[in-house]
Amino acid sequence: MMSEKEQHERTESAGGPTEETGTSAGEVMAEVSEDIHRQVLKERDEYLDTLQRLQADFANYRKRVARESDASSSRVTAEIVEELLPVLDNFERALKAAVEHDEKVLSEGVQLVYRQLREVLDRRGLCEIEAAGEDFDPSHHEAVLCQPSEEHPEGRVIDVLEKGYRVHDKVVRPARVIVSEGESEGDDS
């Protein structure tokens, strides 16, 4: 424990003027507090400046990515259109041939154009979704109608009304199908 004399000396040195500088401990504390306050404000301003720079950099990044995405999309669209132009030309030739020639020439021309179009789409990754006779899969098929069937078990695709397609693993259009409900209840006799 401290004696009263030691406590008195400590109190005087903490609150009264020091012999060396002539300033009180309160004044020293105020100066230290002000220095700390200035340092905190300086750090705050530095952090705020850094944050504002990061926000500006991120905004610029987002704009650049959007521009690059638009440019990439335009480039891909142009490539696909370029591949489809010969198909368009052949359709025009087939239509012209239909006016000038018989149905057989028109039929051959349309088949040629169809094969050419399928080749272009196949190169781009287009695949037909198998549906007829398959189990119904809602991620690849869209049930338009359900009907009883003695030949097909419940949940099996009976008929395809509209073909479905996917590009690589992404379904572009599900197959529109008729699904079996199984045997009708009236057939149990």
Considering 23-27, 75-79, 135-139, the range whose residues carry the highest mean pLDDT is 135-139
This prediction's pTM: 0.53
SS3 per residue for 89-137: HHHHHHHHHHHHCCHHHHHHHHHHHHHHHHHHHHHCCEEEECCCCCECC
Condensed to tens digits (0 to 9), the pLDDT of residues 32-49 reads: 888 899 999 999 999 999
CATH of the domain at 149: 2.30.22.10
Considering the domain architecture, whether residues 96 and 47 belong to the same structural domain is answered as yes
pLDDT band at 185 (very low <50, low <70, confident <90, very high): low
Within 10 angstroms of residue 94's Cβ, the number of other Cβ atoms is 20
In order, the DSSP letters of the chain are ---HHHHHHHHHHHHSPPTTT---HHHHHHHHHHHHHHHHHHHHHHHHHHHHHHHHHHHHHHHHHHHHHHHHHHHHHHHHHHHHHHHHHHHHHHHHHHHHS-HHHHHHHHHHHHHHHHHHHHHTTEEEEP-TTSBP-TTTEEEEEEE--SSS-TTBEEEEEE-EEEETTEEEEPEEEEEE--S-GGGG-
> Does the residue 73 lie in any domain?
yes
What the block records as the tokens of 14 is: 């903490």
Domain boundary among 103, 124, 145: 124
> Does the residue 85 lie in any domain?
yes
CATH of the domain at 89: 3.90.20
Condensed to tens digits (0 to 9), the pLDDT of residues 106-159 reads: 777 788 888 888 888 888 888 888 888 888 888 888 888 888 888 888 888 888
What the block records as the tokens of 123 is: 């190169």
6 against 161, higher pLDDT: 161
Domain boundary among 74, 106, 124: 124
